[in-house]
Amino acid sequence: LAKTTQPISMDSYEGQEVNITCSHNNIATNDYITWYQQFPSQGPRFIIQGYKTKVTNEVASLFIPADRKSSTLSLPRVSLSDTAVYYCLVGDIPGSGSARQLTFGSGTQLTVLP
Amino acid sequence: NAGVTQTPKFRVLKTGQSMTLLCAQDMNHEYMYWYRQDPGMGLRLIHYSVGEGTTAKGEVPDGYNVSRLKKQNFLLGLESAAPSQTSVYFCASIRGLADNEQFFGPGTRLTVL
């Protein structure tokens, strides 16, 4: 299983850009990097996925350096409603035949302060 | 579309009782998953299914059984509940291998006394 390391918690203020870095030193060639967001008492919600370089969608950007041993989720101008746990996953989806299945670590608790 | 729904939302069991959790999706997704989440921890995969009639074990399958008789439904069974199975259970689905985005249900909070 691909192991990831993230900060346990982060604080930010409304309107700031937040960068959450995830370390995944044993990432394999076929592994994708996926980020999920989870609010209390809800299931996780997909945010973004990438393989290399930079990926951007309407809610976030994902930066992946050339060696792919880490990745950074960037949330522009956060608001109070972005307070949640953010999970970084590396691997392939269960059932794909890959032994490197996506696993959820403990995540990063982001708290946005007013 | 309702997406992924789970029944029931809450349940309290006594040790040794049995129950079935139902997951239903209306998106015609091929892959379905059952996870458990314990306090302060990430999700751990219990069982999954890559299509109707097929199931496979995940990371923590002991004490659970599953069935996928219909494509839209994925059932998780506890034959003899134990306090260690107190957790929040999430179901998820994916359209197929070309799409890695998992859609999660709202969860079932299970307490085993």
pLDDT digits (tens, 9 = 90+) for A42-84: 999 999 999 989 999 999 999 999 999 999 999 999 999 999 9
Name chain B contacts of A94, Cβ cutoff 8 Å: 31, 33, 45, 48, 56, 58
In angstroms, the separation between the Cα of residue A96 and the nearest Cα of chain B is: 6
Which among A45, A14, A46, A44 is positioned nearest to A33, based on CA atoms? A46
> Which residue in the set B43, B45, B100 is minimally distant from A44, CB to CB?
B43
pLDDT digits (tens, 9 = 90+) for B22-38: 999 999 998 899 999 99
Whether the Cβ atoms of residue A90 and residue A61 lie closer than 8 Å to each other: no
Whether the ω angle into residue A65 lies within 30 degrees of 0, i.e. cis, is no
The rounded distance, in Å, linking the Cα atoms of A93 and B103 is 13
In this prediction, residue A30 carries a pLDDT of 80
**What's the average model confidence in pLDDT over A1-12?**
87
For residue B96, what is the DSSP state? B
Which among B113, B87, B108 is positioned nearest to B15, based on CA atoms? B113
Residue B66 half-sphere exposure, CB side, CA atoms within 13 Å? 28
Query: What share of chain B in percent tops pLDDT 70?
Result: 97
For residue A29, what is the DSSP state? T
Tell whether B101 is within 8 A of chain A (Cβ): yes
Name chain A contacts of B41, Cβ cutoff 8 Å: 106
Give the mutation candidate from B104, B108, B109, B110 for the A interface (greatest A CB count, under 10 A): B104
pLDDT digits (tens, 9 = 90+) for B58-107: 889 999 999 999 999 999 999 999 999 999 999 999 887 666 788 999 99
Tokens of B100: 């890695």
The rounded distance, in Å, linking the Cα atoms of B110 and B8 is 9
